[in-house]
Amino acid sequence: MLVLSGIAVVILGFALRFNPLLVVTLAGIVTGLAAGFDPLTVVAMLGKAFVDNRFIAVAWLVLPVIGLLERGGIRERARTLILKMHGATTGRVLTAYFVLRQLTATLGLTSLGGHVQMVRPVIAPMAEAAAERDGPLDDETRDHIRANAAAVDNIAVFFGEDVFIAIGSILLIQGFLAQNGISVTPPRIALWAIPTAVLAFVIHNIRLWLLDRRLARRKAAK
């Protein structure tokens, strides 16, 4: 039971809005101490676990590329392209990205997208530009549109990738069931990811359509 104190630290720390990096570090230390390790061993455990997960930081290698492209005006270019398209609305831009992201994910191409590579330099500026045609955006609306762009990237890939038979989660399920003496093939598992993929598409794109209606009403109110 005592080892759960780390979870308590996380919940309390996030609820009280302490710095998340500090909260997570403290949670690791508290959990290690609660499990009966001495303080120096716990710091070493933390160091080893952090070093073991360095692969996560490899994705940041794209930062200089995206930074340079922003310097070259990629966000301004993305805006120009959308302003030339008649009928492009925030919701429709995001629906188009949803379709692209989910379809490529079902083919296992999950690297075609991402918040740093696609959403910040291209998708968010497009979604904002489509709304700005009706007049300047206040900070709150701009943040809301950007948050929606990030959400589309997540939802489309989460509920697309499981339809692909060689993705990590499908292999994890297959491996886990095999350990427990149940033999199944990946296509059978992936088949049962299709209904949720379709529902995710329908539910979220209705919400994007509602977002467009709210944005239009905002314009009319002005």
Partner 1 sequence: MIGLDAIYIAAGLMFGAFAGSHALDGSNPRRWRSAVFWGCFALIMIAGSWLPHLVSGGFVLVMAVLATIGLKPGKDITTDTATRETSAAKLRDRLFLPALAIPAVTVIGTLLLPLWRIGGTPIIDPKQVTLVSLAIGAMVGLGLALRLLRTNVTTAAHEGRRLVDAMGWAAVLPQMLAALGGIFAIAGVGKVVATLATDHIPMDLPLIAVVVYTTGMAIFTIIMGNAFAAFPVMTAGIGLPLIVGKFGGYPVIMSALGMLSGFCGTLLTPMAANFNIVPAAILELRDRNAVIKVQAPTAFLLLFCNTVMMALFVFHR
Positions in 82-121 near partner 1 (CB under 8 A): 109, 111-113, 115-121
Degrees to nearest 5, angle at CA 159 with 156 and 161: 95
Tokens encoding 1: 């039971």
Identified binder of partner 1 from the candidate list 16, 64, 87, 222, rule CB under 8 A: 64
Give, as ranges, the residues between 10 and 39 that touch partner 1 (CB under 8 A).
Answer: 10, 14, 18-22, 24-28, 31-32, 34-35
What would the DSSP string read from start to end of 36-84? T--HHHHHHHHHHHHHHTGGGGGGGGGHHHHHHHHHHTHHHHHHHHHHH
Residue 59 is a binding residue for partner 1 (CB under 8 A): yes
- Which of 84-92, 95-103, 189-197, 214-222 is the region at the interface with partner 1 (rule: CB under 8 A)? 189-197
Residue 171 is a binding residue for partner 1 (CB under 8 A): no
What number of other Cβ atoms are within 10 A of residue 148's Cβ?
Answer: 19
Give, as ranges, the residues between 114 and 153 that touch partner 1 (CB under 8 A).
Answer: 115-122, 124, 139, 143-144, 146-151, 153
What CA–CA distances, in Å, run from 195 to 60, 155, 162, 198, 199?
A: 34, 15, 11, 5, 6
Identified binder of partner 1 from the candidate list 89, 126, 204, 212, rule CB under 8 A: 204
Identified binder of partner 1 from the candidate list 85, 154, 209, 213, rule CB under 8 A: 154
Give the Cα separation of 66 and 71 in Å (integer): 9
Identified binder of partner 1 from the candidate list 38, 80, 214, 219, rule CB under 8 A: 80
CA atoms within 13 A on the CB side of 208: 28
- Which of 52-60, 83-91, 129-137, 212-220 is the region at the interface with partner 1 (rule: CB under 8 A)? 52-60
